Amino acid sequence: MIYLDNNATTPLEPSVAEKMINFIREHFGNPSSLYPIGRKVKEMIEEAREEIAKVIGASKNEIIFTGSGTEADNFALRGILDAYPNKNEIITSSIEHPAIMSTCQYLEKKGYKVTYLPVDEYGVVDLNVLEDSITDKTALISVMHANNEIGTIQPIEEISKIAKRKGVLLHTDAVQTLGKIDVNVDKLGVDLLSISAHKIYGPKGVGALYIRKGVKICPLIHGGHQERLLRAGTENTIGIIGFGEAARIIREKGKKDLKRIEKLADMLKEGIEKNIPKVKFNGHPEKRVKSTLNFSFIGLEGEAILLALATKGIYVSTGSACSEGSEETSHVLSAIGLRPEIARSSIRFSLGRFNTEEDIKTVLKELPEIIAKLREISSFDDEL
């Protein structure tokens, strides 16, 4: 198997799996219990929290564990609006992940005003429109750090300057950037930031929201006293332990890993551009997460390419996993101005820690043949 869909999810790092297995065998205590077997688990959760704080340059008390990156995004938006009842406006981008997009659509139905910032052909948000959209009713700006489909990195530092000048809070969805580019809450200047364990070789079903000290927010889930009363429910202990270990590995050897992954991605990009005619690269030429490569193969259906690759054991995606299976074309590719038939011809290759040079060589051997064959049977129109 050649797995090139690391933006959808990543395989579990073996040392993370080992830590989780050892943990679940030995520890069943409730972290809220006051006797030793509970205290021990609480201690281990706090160690994991410390690791996650360190990897994004935050302090431990600013991290709240959630059930997913999606929950962290929901929590940021709804929690801030609830905490500021006098404000009823949110500004976001038109290329957010469904975790933000659907939450915003829900909020609109509830009567809130949402501005969806346009992006240019590379997927970068328009800062002038952003500035003009801010009113004294704006509670929050939420713009993703990098896009999951095309990898474009947003100018979060610049957005932060505007937000600070106007006195508006700023959230970023950094689920796709942790471990891939520098994610530091102070350098970015954000008030809230979402991350997810299964995108960094950790387990599924656990995420976190960074909440800058002093920022007012209301809980999304009510119940017990867990997570400083901000996220009730007995902790996903095994998930949190795995998340902490995954974060530790990123902090300790992420940089070295990254260099290798980026080299492989460059090799794949160059190979596709050199060996396959009529392809269009989607995303920013420089301001991008290098391990994400989105290409339109003009004249074809992305799904046909995906299925043909899958028969060779090569796994890729036609866009966001969450929109797969739906007939609609990607809202991200539409937002950067692709015509529907071009958008539908797109494939996302996302590389990760476990890819090898051999993987890329195999793809570069199989893909041109697949594309040529599919174009032959689809009576590809050369005029396109």
Q: Which of 52, 175, 347, 363: binder of ligand PLP (CB under 6 A)?
A: 175
Q: Tell me the closest approach of the beta carbon of residue 275 to ligand PLP, in angstroms.
A: 29
Q: Hey, which residues between 2 and 41 contact ligand PLP (CB under 6 A)? A: none
Question: In this complex, which beta carbon is closest to ligand PLP, that of residue 79 or of residue 207?
Answer: 207
Q: Tell me the closest approach of the beta carbon of residue 132 to ligand PLP, in angstroms.
A: 26
Provide the pairing of β-strand 63-66 with 207-211: antiparallel
Question: In this complex, which beta carbon is closest to ligand PLP, that of residue 7 or of residue 355?
Answer: 7
Question: In this complex, which beta carbon is closest to ligand PLP, that of residue 69 or of residue 299?
Answer: 69
CA distance 261 to 250: 13
Question: In this complex, which beta carbon is closest to ligand PLP, that of residue 19 or of residue 145?
Answer: 145
CA distance 100 to 41: 32
Task: Indicate whether 196 belongs to the interface with ligand PLP (CB under 6 A).
Answer: yes
Tokens 């410390």 identify what position?
A: 50
Taking each continuous run of H as one helix and of E as one strand, the counts in the chain are 12, 12
Q: Hey, which residues between 337 and 376 contact ligand PLP (CB under 6 A)? A: none
Alpha helices in 27-155 (DSSP H): 36-55, 69-83, 98-109, 127-133
Question: In this complex, which beta carbon is closest to ligand PLP, that of residue 205 or of residue 337?
Answer: 205
Applying CB under 6 A, which part among 32-40, 74-82, 191-199, 340-348 lies near ligand PLP?
191-199
Cβ contact 54:186 at 8 Å: no
Question: In this complex, which beta carbon is closest to ligand PLP, that of residue 10 or of residue 237?
Answer: 10
Q: Which of 68, 74, 103, 294: binder of ligand PLP (CB under 6 A)?
A: 68
Cβ contact 242:16 at 8 Å: yes
Residue 190: partners with Cβ closer than 8 Å, 6 or more residues away: 156, 160, 170, 171, 172, 210, 212
CA distance 143 to 100: 9
Which residue's C-beta sits nearest to ligand PLP? Answer: 69
Tokens 């990897």 identify what position?
A: 55
Residue 50: partners with Cβ closer than 8 Å, 6 or more residues away: 60, 244
Q: Tell me the closest approach of the beta carbon of residue 98 to ligand PLP, in angstroms.
A: 8
Applying CB under 6 A, which part among 65-73, 159-167, 281-289, 327-335 lies near ligand PLP?
65-73
CA distance 354 to 365: 20
Task: Indicate whether 103 belongs to the interface with ligand PLP (CB under 6 A).
Answer: no
Identity of the residue numbered 337: G
Residue 315: partners with Cβ closer than 8 Å, 6 or more residues away: 1, 2, 3, 4, 5, 309
Q: Which of 144, 190, 272, 298: binder of ligand PLP (CB under 6 A)?
A: 144
Task: Indicate whether 199 belongs to the interface with ligand PLP (CB under 6 A).
Answer: yes
Question: Which secondary structure element, helix H or strand E, spans residue 267, and what is its range?
Answer: helix 237-275
**Residues making up the chain, counted from first to last:** 384
Task: Indicate whether 239 belongs to the interface with ligand PLP (CB under 6 A).
Answer: no
CA distance 330 to 344: 8
Q: Which of 70, 74, 92, 226: binder of ligand PLP (CB under 6 A)?
A: 70
Beta-carbon neighbour count of residue 178 at 10 Å?
27
Q: Looking at residue 355, what DSSP letter applies?
A: -
Applying CB under 6 A, which part among 15-23, 194-202, 279-287, 376-384 lies near ligand PLP?
194-202
Question: In this complex, which beta carbon is closest to ligand PLP, that of residue 68 or of residue 323?
Answer: 68
Q: By CB under 6 A, how many residues form the interface with ligand PLP?
A: 15
Return the active site residues.
322
DSSP helix/strand/coil, 178:
strand
Q: Tell me the closest approach of the beta carbon of residue 346 to ligand PLP, in angstroms.
A: 17
Task: Indicate whether 123 belongs to the interface with ligand PLP (CB under 6 A).
Answer: no
Task: Indicate whether 99 belongs to the interface with ligand PLP (CB under 6 A).
Answer: yes
Q: Which of 89, 173, 235, 245: binder of ligand PLP (CB under 6 A)?
A: 173
Cβ contact 208:62 at 8 Å: no
Q: Tell me the closest approach of the beta carbon of residue 267 to ligand PLP, in angstroms.
A: 24
**Residue 172 backbone dihedrals phi, psi, to 5 degrees:** -130, 140
Chain positions contacting ligand PLP, by CB under 6 A:
68-70, 73, 97, 99, 144, 148, 173, 175-176, 196, 198-199, 207
